[in-house]
Structure 1
Amino acid sequence: MSSGAAEKGKALADVSESAAESAVRRAREWSVWAMKKAKVVAHYGFIPLDIIVGMNFEPKPRLAQLLSPI
């Protein structure tokens, strides 16, 4: 009877370990997904953000002045 109780306790410990591993795996997947999305946002959002910020300062430059390399 005691071996059955020990097996039950071991089974519960295995379940909690797999739940913890599952949580770690989900957290890792989420962080990878979030970093990929952040990379895309940063890549395509930098120049428009730069233009918007540049248009809100004094003296107000024309769009051509913001886009020219000089």
Structure 2
Amino acid sequence: MEKGKAPAEAAESAAAYAARLAREWSTWAMKNTKVVAHYGFIPLVILVGMSSEPKPSLAQLLSPV
């Protein structure tokens, strides 16, 4: 037990502990999802474009015109 803490304050309830873990996990997951979406969007667009018919060349796919 930590010094200066009352016994009621020292013990975290199971529900509070689960809620804290859920908040931490969801924050971690959202941060990583943001990174994956940020760096994965353009390659996904290129992949989908390359698999469409008619098949464009990479230069045609990346050119703005």
Q: CA deviation at 1:68?
A: 1.1
Q: Tell me how large the CA RMSD over aligned residues is.
A: 1.5
From 39, 54, 65, the counterpart of 2:60: 65
Structure 1 unaligned segments of length 5 or more: list them: 1-10
TM-score in terms of structure 2 length: 0.78
Q: Which residue type is aligned with residue 59 of structure 1?
A: P
From 24, 46, 49, the counterpart of 2:44: 49
- Count of residues in Structure 1 that have an aligned counterpart in Structure 2: 56
Q: Sequence identity of aligned pairs in percent? A: 75
Structure 2 unaligned segments of length 5 or more: list them: 1-7
Question: Is residue 20 of structure 1 aligned with residue 10 of structure 2?
Answer: no
Structure with greater Cα Rg:
1
Q: CA deviation at 1:24?
A: 0.1
Bigger share in helix:
1
